[in-house]
Amino acid sequence: MRSIKDHLQEAVSACMKAAGHEFEPKTQRALMKAASFGKSFLKDMRPQAYVEMSQTVRVLNNVRNYKVGIPLTFEELQRLSLPVLIDRLVLRRHYLLAIKICDYLRIPKRDGASRILAHWACHKVQQSNIDDELLAKEIAAKLGDTPGISYIDIAYKALDQGKKSLAVKLLDYEPKASNQVPLLLRMEKFDLALQKASDSGDMDQVYMVIERVDQKSESQRSEFLRKIRNYPMAQSLLIKKCKLQEKLQKKAREKEESRNMLAMIFFQDDQFRDNGNTYIQYSYDESDFNERMKLIEKAKMNYESKGMQLFTFGAQVTADQLKLLEFQKRLQKPGEQYMNLSLYDTLYQLIYKGCPKQAETLRKEFNISDTRFWWKKMQALAAASDWVELEKFSKSKKSPIGYEPFVEVCLTYGHNLREAEKYMQKVPVEKRIKLYIKMGDLNQAAEAAFQVKSVDDLNALLSKCANNRELTERIQARLSQLTYRR
């Protein structure tokens, strides 16, 4: 030691390096023992170098074993690197040795043991002499919840080998439903994919399943719709999707497909009322009489379905709507639009355009009450400024709505005072006061208020005619008479 004290560090490094290049374990131990003795006399030597060499030598000795058959030298290992060596061990299926090396070198599980176990599992699924259920349990028992391992990758490998049942069983061990659903869809396990997506509560996953099923055949969709009844959230999303698609689609065929899908959902769930309501909504998006009538007819059929006895109102109003559309279709002419008009608006338009016979026919067919008919006819004639016909109509028989409305419409349409005056004498005196005020005739309003002995109305008029001295005095005189009599 005294003779080499000036070169002690170089001597220790040389011993460790020689041990790395040596193949004989006995010689390796002697060299490493000498290096260990020498480094104890060095104060500033890094101990990590000795540890790393010891580990490297041990790894080299294990891979050089005849059962492994990788006779690497130290230099070759340096050039190859440890990760590549582990990969080669994995490819040669020396999984246990590779894991032990990773544990010995304290390589993180995600990059070491977990990755190796995943390779082992992918190799394991290729074995055909083991029952799928037993194989899935064996893989799950070995992998457990080891971090960094995805059962999805193993399931994909099983699927590539044509083992669908094994892939499905492996998916049961995958904690994330978002990872399970795509593979289940690839295997066309739509009902199981729907179950997983619904259990996860992730609407995006449910939509993914629905989108894939929408592209499949009619029989597959029918089967899927029977299963979706058990998952309320998924069913609600499908209904929403169908309604939205129907609105966005421009082609008639695509619209019809969305409507048929929605109809199938409601039909299988015996939701006849909802189905009928949906057809009614669709009908108002159609601008063609025939198409609209077809949709309303479908709605009527749903309202009349078995078990809908309590909703006879829906069947009745749809029948009336079909009847109205038939009538409007006969009226339709270029430049005239009747489709989107209600019953009373249709009646109004017929009278306004001078079609009294058709208006009368409409009244009889739909049994419109006298009160409704008089209101609409009176308004339509006044709007058309057909004052002569309006006067004839008012004299046809006793008005069921009174004559005050006649005065109102004369004032509303053109403020025709002369025509309004014709009906004023038929209005009860107590109702004339407000009408005269609307006409601007405060004198007549005061006379009417005095006739009915209304002090309140006279006081109200008094405040309106402050600038008319003569009328003010007359009203005050009338008030004095009424007060004196009391």
pLDDT in tens, 118-133: 788 777 787 777 777 7
pLDDT at res. 425: 87
220 and 265: one domain? yes
Task: Answer whether residue 212 is part of any domain.
Answer: yes
319 in Cβ contact with 336 (< 8 Å): no
Q: How many Cα neighbours within 13 Å face the side chain of 261?
A: 29
Of the three residues 240, 269, 298, the one that is the final residue of a domain is 269
215 and 290: one domain? no
Q: What is the C-alpha to C-alpha distance for residues 149 and 246, in angstroms, rounded to an integer?
A: 43
250 and 298: one domain? no
Task: Answer whether residue 260 is part of any domain.
Answer: yes
The mean pLDDT of the chain is: 81
Task: Answer whether residue 396 is part of any domain.
Answer: yes
Q: How many domains does the chain have?
A: 4
Task: Answer whether residue 72 is part of any domain.
Answer: no
Task: Answer whether residue 249 is part of any domain.
Answer: yes
CB-based contacts of 233-236 (< 8 A; 24+ apart in sequence): 233/198, 233/201, 233/203, 233/206, 234/194, 234/197, 234/198, 234/206, 234/209, 234/210, 235/265, 235/269
190 and 256: one domain? yes
Q: What is the C-alpha to C-alpha distance for residues 204 and 234, in angstroms, rounded to an integer?
A: 11
When pLDDT is averaged across residues 70-76 and rounded to a whole number, the result is 89
Of the three residues 251, 269, 287, the one that is the final residue of a domain is 269
Domain of residue 303, residue span? 270-340
In tens, the pLDDT along 206-261 reads 877 777 776 665 666 677 777 777 777 777 777 777 777 666 665 666 666 667 77
Judge whether residue 309 has pLDDT over 60: no
In tens, the pLDDT along 333-367 reads 877 788 888 899 999 999 999 888 999 999 999 99
248 and 300: one domain? no
Task: Answer whether residue 168 is part of any domain.
Answer: no
Task: Answer whether residue 86 is part of any domain.
Answer: no
In tens, the pLDDT along 149-171 reads 777 778 878 877 778 888 888 77
| Residue 138 buriedness (CB in 10 A; 0-12 / 13-18 / 19+) | middle
187 and 243: one domain? yes
283 and 298: one domain? yes
Of the three residues 427, 449, 465, the one that is the final residue of a domain is 427
Task: Answer whether residue 32 is part of any domain.
Answer: no
Residue 78 burial (CB count, 10 A): 12
387 and 447: one domain? no
User: Which strand (E) or helix (H) includes residue 71?
Assistant: none
